[in-house]
Amino acid sequence: MTATAQAREMLQIAAAAADAKSGEDLVALDVSGPLPLVDIFLLVTGRNERNVAAIADEIEDKLLEAGHRRLRREGRQEARWVLLDFGDLVVHVFHEQERMYYGLERLWKDCPVVPIEVPAATAAD
């Protein structure tokens, strides 16, 4: 199986939101093969707890604005690893130490990477 068009659309919204809040090292993995209920994992790194929370909040806001329903959110209070479950898309926003420690890229290394298109920054007029 491959990720659905809807999951890819959600990914682009989430990636743009993460980028807008200075999310780093964005990686999207197509996990639709091993996980029948999820299509894509988006992994994002924040520099500190405040940044992790801001990234997670922005992603959640933009996906909700686009009409997608959040099924679950975990870790927001500690803001070290925030998980946002939108069904087809699950977003993991990590503090850099947690991302290195848990190594989800290693766990899901056999899954294909999904290209992410983040809008290019434009200079202010």
For the entire predicted model, the pTM comes to 0.91
CA 41/CA 90 separation, integer angstroms: 5
Domain at 5-107: CATH code:
3.30.460.10
Reference 44, options 118, 110, 109, 111; nearest CA is 118
What are the distances in angstroms from CA 71 to CA 20, 25, 123?
A: 23, 25, 37
* Phi, psi for residue 51 in degrees, rounded to 5: -65, -40
CA 8/CA 51 separation, integer angstroms: 24
Within 10 angstroms of residue 95's Cβ, the number of other Cβ atoms is 21
What are the distances in angstroms from CA 37 to CA 1, 3, 4?
A: 12, 11, 12
**42-61 pLDDT per residue, tens:** 999 999 999 999 999 999 99
Q: Give residue 120's pLDDT.
A: 63
**24-47 pLDDT per residue, tens:** 999 999 999 898 889 999 999 999
**Residue ranges of the domains in the chain?**
5-107
Total residues found in the chain within this entry: 125
